[in-house]
Amino acid sequence: MVTLKIDDKQVQVPEDTSILKAAEKAGIWIPTLCYSELFEPYGVCRLCVVEAVRGKRSRVVTSCNYPVREGINVLTNSPKIQWIRKTILELMLARWPNVKVVKDLARDVGVEKPRFVSLQRDEAEDACILCGKCVSVCREVVQANVLGFAYRGIKREIALPFGVQSEACIVCGACAHVCPTGHIKMVVEDYKGKKPEFTLGPKTAIYVPTLQAVPRVPVIDADSCIHFKTGGCEYCAKVCEPNAINFGMKDEVEEIEVGQILVATGFDIFDASAMAQYGYGTLDNVYSSLEFEMMLNSTGPTNGQVLTKDGREPRSVAIVHCIGSRDTNHHSYCSRVCCMYALKYAHLVHDRTKASIYQFYIDMRAFGKGYEEFYVRILDKGVKVIRGKVAEVVEAPPAQKDEGSLVVRCEDTLAGKLLEIPVDMVVLCNAIEARRDSDAVRRLFSISKSPDGFFLERHPKLDPTSTMTDGVYIAGCAQGPKDIPDVVAQASSAAARMLSFISKGEVEIDPVRAFVQEEYCSGCKICNSLCPYTAIEFLAEKKVSHVNEALCKGCGTCVAACPSSAMTGHGFTDAQILAELDGIMV
Amino acid sequence: MKRYRLQLMVCAGTGCVSNHSVEIKDALDREIEKHKLQNEAEVVFTGCNGFCGAGPIVVVQPDGVFYQLLKTADIPHLVEEHLLKGRPVKKLMYSPPAEKIPIPKMSDIPFFSDQTLIALRNRGMIDPEQIDDYIARGGYKGLVKALTMMTPDEVLKEIKSSGLRGRGGGGFPTGVKWESCKHAHGDIKHVICNADEGDPGAFMDRSIIEGDPHAVIEGMIIGAYAIEKVHQGYIYVRMEYPLAIKRFQIAIKQAREYGLLGENILDAGFTFDIDIRRGAGAFVCGESTALMASVEGKPGEPRAKYIHTVERGLWERPTCLNNVETWANVPQIILKGAQWFSSIGTGDVSADPWGGSKGTKVFSLAGKVNNTGLVEVPMGIPLRDIVFKIGGGIRDGKKFKAVQTGGPSGGFIPESLLDLPVDYEELTKVGSMMGSGGMVVTDEDNCMVDMARYFLAFTQAESCGKCTPCREGTKQMLDILDRISVGEGTEEDLVTLEDLSNVIVESSLCALGGSAPNPVLTTLKYFREEYEAHVKDKKCPSHTCRKLNTYSIDEKICLKLGHGCHVCVKHCPDAAIIGERKQVHYIDPAKCSKCGVCYDVCNFKAVQVA
């Protein structure tokens, strides 16, 4: 421990502590600008200068990086220090008269108007003041080493290598975060011609997934966390008081034994960029239904406001039904939910903006309880409902830019007229489609799918929740497009079916099933792969196949296929069948 | 080695080479061949002779006859007379200004006779590209003594008690530095030779390297041995010194071949090698921390030295950095002993290493003196002796005004302080510094405001821009000086200038900012009346700041001597001169932009400045 005096106040701190830290402990404020706890002191703004006095010798040092020395007396606000600080701030204020942080510090030390006029004067409010924080954070914390200084002396400036966007930049935003003037900004822009994922602004690496998340705790996104990219940073761990940050945590595979499974894997939405005529992915302000839903959400990127990409309120919005649904080129089925959510969008857009709203539909399918009434309400609000499939969405020609940035072309089939409607925003009602991984899921649970790609139920009318595999049930859009009330009803039904088995405690199985006569089995494994219920396993130590009788449905495929006649059905052995034949023939 | 009756030492220092000394050597070789003297006389290229103002120079050894300002046309006569007939050629010899009698021997010329040579002891005597020449003059004897007869501690003790202090500017006692490095924690340590001589007009280090590179290498090996755990040294040379780099490369190669570098040096079980690192042209890289950053491959910017480089320097390892001249002194101290070295110079260093300045210091004498060149003088010599004895006084009989020591960040010393002994503390007391050894003499024609502005413009342009006071402050100072020199300065500006200078000195990150205001501060202190003339009367007393001058044409001279020659009219960029050929010319003050071209072009001195 080192004992020293700061402004005549005795302080005891560990060795290697900086004077700045020691002063903080003593409750003495020293102005800083280029200092941050995130990285090693850079020591260049020279605002944190103090006098270190030992005996008669006094030395002006920067408190941020000067280590405490035994017995020194530190003066943080002597006339000499005030004089230096004032002059430095005069110099800075002369060069950057409108930067808030400089103005504030200058006011704090009593500088109103600098004595100097700078020929390099930069009037911007967000001018770079060369504090070097961004360079330090990039080098020491992020360890990406992207930012640096170029040129020397008065021409010094922050620069990227060779002045171009660096491949080494991981777009972490740390530089923008530490920049005291806002000179460095994060801009979402098209990268290599590809539209970025719909994020509408930078997301931090630590976030609470949604406001409704359960449990409501933050998670680390390994894809954007600096630590997982460069091995550096770990700043969150340094500041987390309960020590709850664990970088070692990994995804784990847990095996749970269960008796029944409900497959409710949901759906994907149709990728509208496959229908190039609607401009999704190429034109600004053409959104998919899910993106628009995000925008409407009060915890979403725009806090629920309906805004065009350049931040304006749209003057008109087109809502286009049946994108990929009821379309022989894509999905011939009706996605069932779009009409109603499209009406909901119209309702919300009407509530939140003054935009005129257009609905383009093929048939309005408002079939549920209260749905038709809602449709009528929407009509009463003055939403323009046009029957006709939109032909294309294009960028507005310059002459029409005043009315809207986009033009929707379609035929009004009721009026028999061709329409060209300028709008500022287009919302596409994407079809619901089976998940991309549905084939893998199907194989995993030995269930089938219907021609539309959704999982096949045992019976479309009489048993819509169970499958051909006992103990495996399906519910929700995994089985087919449906709205929330239908999903709830189907899922409740499946749950009830499953509960009935649980409460019974035992499972009844059909007596007709196959078994292996082990002495005849040659271990050829032909049956193993044939079984549609994956009921046959191979016992490696005995080198014979074995039938799991709980899974076997007694279909007989294996019996017919077995080349050594080792596979036999209970009650249907060769001897029994021959005996029956004998009986008939007698 | 072959022996010759005569050896002609042709200076191949940069100054002489640019005055065609290579052609002189070729001409000498040709003439010697013509007279079939090849077996009697040898022509040798040497490093810088030092008397650069007299170049190209040839010294005929062993007599030491000094020939100066040679032209190729003089060579046939010289060879015939001196080499063949044995009659030295008087008209090619040096004669002091105002005297007509030539001085034949180099050692009798005052420029040389008042010098004491330690670091430059081999100048003009050896071929710097031959290690045998160096060894023949007693080279590597110090190393042999250190490695075979002394322990590292004894070597260190010798350097400490010699009182040698850093010749690069700071004047830190070399022995103390070595000792701190020796005691610093670390298994790998380094020594560095700072040969990034960036001061404008300074060429001490360059001449030592180009003339005697082995002295530096020998010093570094001895230093590495004394500090211990040092097996790799670096020489940081600026890229602008290609000849120095080449000479170092040759010297290192030869030293390796002779077993003086590399593994198991002189079979003493000590391993050490040296590599060269080239600087890319930033003045600030002469600062030790910036230099080390540059060697590491990082931007050459200084850092705070609150933790010394002897503890954490190059790659965070204890590092001992010394200047070229410091290293070159080391072999002689080991060879001749600390007592011999400390008998030269001022003060007493037996108790306090800062107690005096010992040995010699090399200065590059430039400016308005008669004899410009490189001089090595004992510490404590009065400034007056350097300027008037060695330097031969002011050119053209003008009046001395001031001498600036220590490079672009040094201060100006006025005539009243000319009897000041040259010593670290004395120079610092008067606001200047020893620096690396630049010495610029100014006379009555120099404007002190302009001189201060000139040097500040250099340091301002070379500021790395890392810390606020140096980056912003030096630019503000320069702006103020620019205003003063065009007559827009106010008396308040002088107050601001002084105040700002002191803030920069106090608060800059490194010594560049900490010393950059010195020329301004000393001129403000000793020549304030010149500043006041600029701001109050809007006049430059020495007429250097042209915007403050008024130009007029003396009618009589114009008409009588020049017959209205009209040259000024042709050159005037502002069409401010009125007058027909063969008539009197006039300057229209309303149009004149005070560029001074008319003054420069008038062959009859008819243009008057006021």
The tokens of B17 are what? 């080479």
User: For the segment A426-465, what is each residue's pLDDT rounded down to a tens digit?
Assistant: 999 999 999 999 999 998 888 999 999 999 999 999 999 9
**Residue B243 vs residues B58, B129, B195, B206, B285: alpha-carbon distances, Å:** 20, 11, 13, 9, 20
Q: At residue B91, does pLDDT exceed 90? A: no
Torsion of CA A93, A99, A104, A106, to 10 degrees: -10
- Please indicate if any CB of chain B lies within 8 Å of the CB of A43: yes
Contact present, B111 and B59 (Cβ < 8 Å): no
User: Any idea what DSSP says for residue A314?
Assistant: P
What is the distance in angstroms between the Cα of A404 and the nearest Cα belonging to chain B? 50
- In a mutational test of the A interface, the residue from B283, B294, B305, B475 whose CB has the highest number of chain A CBs within 10 Å is B475
Report the alpha-carbon distance of residue B408 to residue B437 in Å, rounded.
Answer: 10
- Residue in A402, A403, A408 with CA at minimum distance from that of residue A421: A408
A387-426 core/surface letters (b: 16 or more CB in 10 A; e: else): bbbbbebeebeeeeeeebbbbbebbeeeeeeebebbbbbb
| Predicted confidence band of residue A194 (pLDDT cuts 50, 70, 90) | very low
Question: With an 8 Å Cβ cutoff, are A67 and B307 in contact?
Answer: yes
pLDDT band for A314, please (50, 70, 90 cuts).
very high
DSSP designation for A431: P
- Residue B264, helix vs strand vs coil: strand
CATH of domain B360-443: 3.10.20.600
pLDDT tens, position by position, A525-566: 999 989 888 889 999 899 999 998 888 888 889 998 999 889
| Model confidence at A199: pLDDT above 50 | no
| Percent of chain A whose pLDDT exceeds 70 | 96
Q: Are A523 and A545 in contact (CB under 8 A)?
A: yes
Return the number of other C-beta atoms located less than 10 Å from residue A260's C-beta.
16
pLDDT, position B307: 86
| Cα gap A405→A423, rounded to integer Å | 6
CA gap A302, A291 in Å, rounded: 11
Cβ-count burial A271-294 (b if 16+ within 10 Å, e if not): bbeebeebbbeeeebbbbbebbbb
What is the distance between the alpha carbons of residues B1 and B9, in angstroms, rounded to a whole number?
17
Domain spanning B131-342: CATH superfamily: NADH-ubiquinone oxidoreductase 51kDa subunit (3.40.50.11540)
Q: Which residues pair with B586 in a beta bridge?
A: B578
Average pLDDT, stretch B332-358? Answer: 90
Element holding A387 (H helix, E strand): strand A384-387
In what helix (H) or strand (E) does residue A497 lie, and over which residues does it extend? helix A484-504
pLDDT grade for B432, boundaries at 50, 70 and 90 = confident
Residue A232 structure tokens: 């550096």
First vs last C-alpha separation in chain B: 66
The pair of three-digit structure tokens given for residue B481, joined into one six-digit string = 């000086």
Among residues of chain B, what percentage have pLDDT more than 70? 100
Q: Cβ-count burial of A197 within 10 angstroms (0-12 exposed, 13-18 middle, 19+ buried)? A: exposed
**How distant is the Cα of A41 from the closest Cα of chain B, in angstroms?**
10
CATH 3.40.710.10, domain A2-77, yes or no: no
Question: Are B134 and B208 a contacting pair, CB within 8 Å?
Answer: no
Predicted confidence band of residue A210 (pLDDT cuts 50, 70, 90) = low
Token pair belonging to A447 = 């269930």
Chain B interface residues (partner A, CB cutoff 8 A): 282, 284, 299, 301, 303-304, 306-307, 460-469, 471-476, 479, 496, 499-500, 503, 506-509
Task: Say whether the ipTM exceeds 0.90.
Answer: no
Distance CA B201, CA B442 (A): 14
Q: For A509-529, how does the pLDDT look when each residue is reduced to its tens digit (9 = 90+)?
A: 778 889 999 999 999 999 998
Task: Name the residue facing B472 among A95, A148, A149 (closest C-beta).
Answer: A95
Give the closest residue to B516 by CA, choosing from B460, B466, B563: B460
Average pLDDT over residues A469-484: 93
Pairs of residues, one from chain A and one from chain B, whose beta carbons lie less than 8 Å apart:
100
User: CB contact, 8 Å: A66 with chain B?
Assistant: yes
Quote the tokens at residue B60.
């005929």
CB A414 within 8 A of CB A387: yes
pLDDT tops 70 at residue B487: yes
Which residues touch B282 (CB under 8 Å, ≥6 apart)? Answer: A152, B198, B290, B294, B300, B462, B464
Domain residue spans of chain B: 6-107, 131-342, 360-443, 448-537, 549-609
Domain with CATH 3.50.50.60 in chain A: 270-433
A155, B465: Cβ pair inside 8 Å? Answer: yes
Domain B448-537 bears CATH identifier 3.40.50.20: no
> What HEC string does B20-52 produce?
CHHHHHHHHHHHHHHCCCCCCEEEEEECCCCCH
Q: Residue B234: its pLDDT value, please?
A: 96
State which CATH number among 3.30.365.10, 3.40.50.300, 3.40.50.2300, 3.30.70.20 fits the domain covering A514-585: 3.30.70.20
B411 by Cβ neighbours in 10 Å (0-12 / 13-18 / 19+) ranks as buried
Chain-centroid distance of CA A207 in Å reads 10
Amino acid at A576: Q
**What percentage of chain A reaches a pLDDT higher than 90?**
60
How far apart are alpha carbons A213 and B506 in whole angstroms?
Answer: 57
Residue A181 in contact with residue A175, Cβ under 8 Å?
no
Look at phi and psi of residue A446 and say left if phi exceeds 0, alpha if psi is from -120 to 50, else beta: left
End-to-end CA, chain A: 111
Residue A87's pLDDT band, with cuts at 50, 70 and 90, is very high
Average pLDDT over residues B293-311: 90
pLDDT of residue A60: 93
Q: Which of B304, B465, B508 sits opposite A152 (nearest CB)?
A: B465
Residues in chain A: 586
A83 CB neighbours in chain B (<8 A) are 503
**Residue B87 in tokens:** 């009659």
> Which three-class secondary structure state does DSSP give residue B6?
strand
Is A62 in the B-facing interface, judged by CB distances under 8 Å? yes
Give the residue-averaged pLDDT of B101-108: 88
Give pLDDT, residue B490.
Answer: 92
- Please tell me the distance from the alpha carbon of residue A357 to that of residue A296, in angstroms, as a whole number: 15
| pLDDT score for B456 | 94
Residues of A in contact with B304 (CB under 8 A): 43, 62, 65-66
CA distance B165 to B173: 4
Q: What is the total residue count of chain B?
A: 610
CA distance B320 to B306: 16
Q: Could you tell me if A494 and A458 are in contact, meaning their C-beta atoms sit under 8 angstroms apart? A: no
On whether the CB atoms of residues B107 and B113 are closer than 8 A, the answer is yes
- CATH classification for the domain delimited by B549-609, as one of 1.10.10.10, 3.40.190.10, 3.30.70.20, 2.30.30.30: 3.30.70.20
Q: Note the pLDDT of residue A196.
A: 40
* DSSP summary character for residue B173: B
User: Nearest Cβ partner of A156 from B471, B474, B506?
Assistant: B471
Q: Residue written as tokens 């006021």?
A: B610
Residue ranges, CATH 3.10.20.740, chain A: 2-77
Question: Which residue spans of chain A are classified as CATH 3.30.70.20?
Answer: 514-585
SS3 content of chain A, % helix, strand, coil (to 5): 25, 20, 55
- Long-range contact pairs involving A488-496 (C-beta distance under 8 Å, separation at least 24): A490/A464, A490/A465, A491/A262, A491/A264, A493/A464, A493/A465, A494/A262, A494/A465, A494/A466, A495/A262
Residue B66: name the closest of B483, B360, B371, B487 by CA. Answer: B371
Fold of B6-107: Glutaredoxin (3.40.30)
Find the range with the poorest average confidence among A289-303, A390-404, B202-216: A289-303
CATH architecture type of domain A270-433: 3-Layer(bba) Sandwich (3.50)
Query: Is the pLDDT score of A170 beyond 80?
Result: no
| Contacts by residues B64-70 (CB-CB < 8 Å, ≥ 24 positions apart) | B64/B105, B64/B106, B64/B107, B65/B93, B65/B104, B65/B105, B65/B106, B66/B93, B66/B94, B66/B103, B66/B104, B66/B105, B66/B106, B66/B109, B67/B92, B67/B93, B68/B92, B68/B93, B68/B94, B70/B24
* Residue range B24-30: mean pLDDT, rounded: 92
Quick one: residue A180, left, alpha or beta (phi over 0 = left, psi -120 to 50 = alpha)?
A: alpha
Chain B CB within 8 Å of residue A39 CB? no
Distance CA B438, CA B362 (A): 9
Residues of A in contact with B468 (CB under 8 A): 44-47, 88, 91-92, 130
Cβ neighbours, 10 Å, residue B416: 9
Question: CA of A69: which chain B residue's CA is closest?
Answer: B306
Q: At what angle do helices B174-183 and B152-162 cross, to 10 degrees?
A: 150
CA–CA gap between residue A121 and residue A94 (Å, rounded): 7
Select from B243, B254, B151, B155 the least CA-distant residue to B203: B243
Task: Using pLDDT thresholds of 50, 70 and 90, give the confidence band for residue A203.
Answer: low
